[in-house]
Amino acid sequence: MTQGITREMIQEKITRFLAQVQKPGRYIGNEWNAVHKDWDAAEVRIALAFPDVYEVGMSHLGMRLLYEVVNRQAEYIAERVFAPWTDMEQRMRAERIPLFSLESGQPLGNFDLIGFSLQYEMSFSNLLNMLDLAGIPLDAAARGPEDPWIIAGGPCAYNPEPLAPFIDFFLLGESEEQLLQVLALVAEHKKKPLLREDFLREAAQLPGVYVPEFYQVTYKTDGRIDKIERKVAGIPAQVQKAIVKDFDAAAFPERPVVPYVEIIHDRMTLEVMRGCLRGCRFCQAGMIYRPVRERSPETLLKQTEALLQATGYQEVSLTSLSSGDYSCIQPLIGEILDHYQAQGVNVSLPSLRLDSFGVRLAEQVQKVRKAGLTFAPEAGSQRLRNVINKGVREDHLMEAAEAAFRAGWSRIKLYFMIGLPTETWEDLDGIVSLAQRVADLGTRCGRRNITVTVSASSFVPKSHTPFQWEPQDRRESLREKQQYLRDKLRDRRIKYSYHDVPTSFLEAVLAKGDRRLAEVLRAAQRHGCRFDGWSEHFDEARWLLSFQEAGVDPEFYAYRRKDYDEVLPWEHISCGIHKDFFVTEHRRALQETLTPDCRGGTCSGCGVCNALAVDIDLKG
C-alpha cells in the first residue's frame, strides 16, 4: 500500500475529507509541544504506536515518557501514531492512504522501527489492523530488509505468545533506558548491515529483549505445552525484565504534548512512585512493577514547575498503583498547593487507600468541588478478601465512608470483582450488605442525594500472579451472579454496573493463551475485528468464527485449571519474582491466609530485589 506514496500525497488526500470524520483533531498533529525534527538528518526513526484511539493513547504516561526520552537524543526521531477510528479507517482504505505518523505525516513503512504499547489484550486486533493499514506484512517472517522492525512492550508483553509470529522482538519491563540501547543497535546496523538473524541475536543480548523466533514451543497430545526450548545458542533460557534502578534520577516527560481534543486524562501527570507491595493476588501490575521505588518530593516539585510552564494545565495528578502509599504524600500535596493554589492549580489522586487517611487526603485536594470518591473492597466478605490478600477490613470501609460523608461527599463508588477463586453466594450477599450499609451510613450522616455506585467486574486470571493457574468463572455462572446482584441491589440510592461477560471471556483467553492463538488473531483481523475493548465494536460472533476457523477451543485457555508443574506459555519470561513465590501465595490464598506488605519491614520472599540487584528500604 505504501509503495510510491509520499507524505505530500497523503496530506493532499486527507485534506479533502478530514472535516467529514469524527474529531479531525485526532489526525492533524502540530499540537503544543509536539516535536518536529529533520527527517533526513536522523540516524534512526521510530513510530511509537498505541493500538487504540488518540484520546486513550495520549493519556498514557508511558508513551509520553518514551516520546520525550527518544526526542531528547539529537540523532533519533520519535513520532506518534494511533489506531484511526472506524470512519477514518474506511476513508483511508477507500483512498488507499497508508497509516501515517502525526508529526511528519510519513507512512509507517518509512520508519526504522514501529514500537507498539500493549496495555490491554483487547487491543491485539487493533495492532494487526494497524500493520495491515500501514501495508506492512503481518508475519515477521514475511518482512524484508525494507520493512521496519516491529517491536512491542507494556504489561501484555509478559505473556507475548499470542502475538509471537507478528512481533520481531519484545521489550520486557521498563523501557526508558532499554529503548535507547535498541535504537543505538539499529543505528549501528544501518551503518554496518547484518543478516536478520544476526541482528536479532545481538538484540537478544540486551536487557529484557525477547525474540520469539529464537524459542520453540512443543505441545503434548492433550494440548498442554510440553516444553519451550531455545533454538539459538547464547540467548537466555528465561528473559529477565529490564528495570530502572534509580527512579528518582529517571527521565520524566517535562514537555508533554498538549492535545487539541479532550483526552481521557487531560491533565498534568506526576509519577510519584513505581511498584506496589500490597500483594493483591489477582493484580498483575502489583507483581510485574516490583520493587517499589519512590521519587523525592524535591524532584516532584521541580517536575511540577516544569509541567506548569510547558503545558498550562491547572490540574496535576499524582499517579502510581497506590498513590496513598507514597511515603511523603501529605507534605507533597501541601507543598504543591502552597506554591500553586493561588494560580488555580489543583491536585488529584486517582488511587486512594481504603481508610480514613485516604479520605483526609481527598479532603485536602478537593476543598471546593467534592468529586466522587472510589474505594476498592474487591470482595464482599472478609474471608474472600483474605483469599485475594486485600489487607482491608469492613470497618476500614465504614470508617472511610463515614469520614467522607461527614467531610461533605455524597457520591461513593465501590469497586468489586465477581468470579474470584473460592467465591460463594455468601460473598455476593456481602457485596449487597456493604453497599446497603454505606448508603444507610450516608443517610445517618445527614447527606442528601446519596449515590453509592457498585461496580462489579469479572475476574480475569493473568500471568505472573498467584492466580495464574486458576480458571475463569464460566460465562453462565458470571451472568447468573450479575443477575443475582441486580435483583438484590434495588435501593434507589445504589447504582449497579458490571462488565460484559463475552469481552471478559476473550480477555482471559488472550491473557492465558499461547502461540496457537496467533491464527485466531489473524482470522479475527481478516473478519474485521477491531476496537474490541469498545462495547459498540466488540463482535462476539466474529471471534467465535475465528476460533472455529483456526481450530482452537477458547475454553481450553479460559476454563481449565493448571497444575503447578505444567509448563506455562510465559515460562521463559521473568518479571523477577520466583515461581515458587507464586505457588506459595496461591496455597496461602486457598488457606485464606494474608501475606503482609513488605514495606512494613518483613520481606515476603518474592525474590525480585535479589533477581534484579535492587536495594530498597522496606520501611520507606
Instruction: Report the range of poorest mean pLDDT among 49-58, 192-201, 351-360.
Output: 351-360
- What pLDDT, on the 0 to 100 scale, is given for residue 75? 97
CATH number at residue 234: 3.40.50.280
Cell of 215: 524459542
- Of 593 and 602, the structure prediction assigns the larger pLDDT to 593
Is 93 contained in some domain? Answer: yes
- What pLDDT, on the 0 to 100 scale, is given for residue 40? 96
Residue numbers of the domain that contains 46: 7-240
Share of the chain above pLDDT 90, in %: 81
Residue 162's nearest CA partner among 540, 511, 576 is 511
Burial class of 329 by CB neighbour count within 10 A (0 to 12, 13 to 18, 19+): buried
- What pLDDT, on the 0 to 100 scale, is given for residue 419? 98
Q: What is the DSSP letter of 395?
A: H
- What pLDDT, on the 0 to 100 scale, is given for residue 617? 55
Cell of 583: 505457588
For residue 401, the one-letter residue type is A
- What pLDDT, on the 0 to 100 scale, is given for residue 347? 87
Is 72 contained in some domain? Answer: yes
Residue 293's nearest CA partner among 357, 250, 336 is 250
**pLDDT digits 0-9 by tens, 519-533:** 999 999 999 999 999
Cell of 98: 497508508
**Residues near 139 by Cβ (< 8 Å), separated by ≥ 6?**
165, 166
Is 84 contained in some domain? Answer: yes
pLDDT value at 420 more than 80: yes
Cα torsion at 66, 71, 76, 82 (round to 10°)?
Answer: 50
pLDDT value at 367 more than 90: no
**Confidence class for position 563, pLDDT limits 50, 70, 90:** very high
pLDDT value at 125 more than 90: yes
Adjacency order of strands within the sheet including 169-171: 76-82, 44-50, 113-117, 149-153, 169-171, 209-210
b/e burial code for range 178-215 (CB count within 10 A of at least 16 → b): bbbbbbbbbeebeeeeeebeebbbebbebbbbbbbbbb
How many structural domains does the chain have? Answer: 1
Q: Cβ–Cβ contacts within 10 Å for residue 218, how many?
A: 10
Is 14 contained in some domain? Answer: yes
Cell of 332: 507533597
- What pLDDT, on the 0 to 100 scale, is given for residue 371? 65
- What pLDDT, on the 0 to 100 scale, is given for residue 620? 44
Residues 576-589, mean pLDDT to the nearest whole number: 96
pLDDT value at 616 more than 70: no
Cα torsion at 587, 588, 589, 592 (round to 10°)?
Answer: 130
**Confidence class for position 1, pLDDT limits 50, 70, 90:** very low
Give bridge partners of residue 273 from the DSSP assignment.
Answer: 294
Is 17 contained in some domain? Answer: yes
Is 40 contained in some domain? Answer: yes
- What pLDDT, on the 0 to 100 scale, is given for residue 605? 87
Q: Average pLDDT of the chain?
A: 93
Tell me if 143 sits within 8 A of 200, measured CB to CB.
no
Is 33 contained in some domain? Answer: yes
Is 590 contained in some domain? Answer: no
Within its chain, how far is the Cα of 169 from the centroid? 19
- What pLDDT, on the 0 to 100 scale, is given for residue 368? 47
**Confidence class for position 366, pLDDT limits 50, 70, 90:** low
Bond preceding residue 291 cis, omega within 30 of 0: yes
Tell me if 180 sits within 8 A of 73, measured CB to CB.
yes
pTM for this prediction? 0.95
Residues 181-189, mean pLDDT to the nearest whole number: 98
Residue 464 CA: distances (Å) to CA of 136, 296, 581, 613: 32, 29, 10, 19
Calpha distance 274→295 (Å, rounded): 9
Helices (H) and strands (E) in the chain, counts: 21, 19
Residues 202-224, mean pLDDT to the nearest whole number: 97
- What pLDDT, on the 0 to 100 scale, is given for residue 414? 95
**pLDDT digits 0-9 by tens, 254-272:** 999 999 999 988 889 999 9
Cell of 394: 469492613
- What pLDDT, on the 0 to 100 scale, is given for residue 370? 61
Q: What is the DSSP letter of 173?
A: B
**pLDDT digits 0-9 by tens, 7-43:** 888 988 999 999 999 999 999 999 999 999 999 999 9
Calpha distance 15→27 (Å, rounded): 11
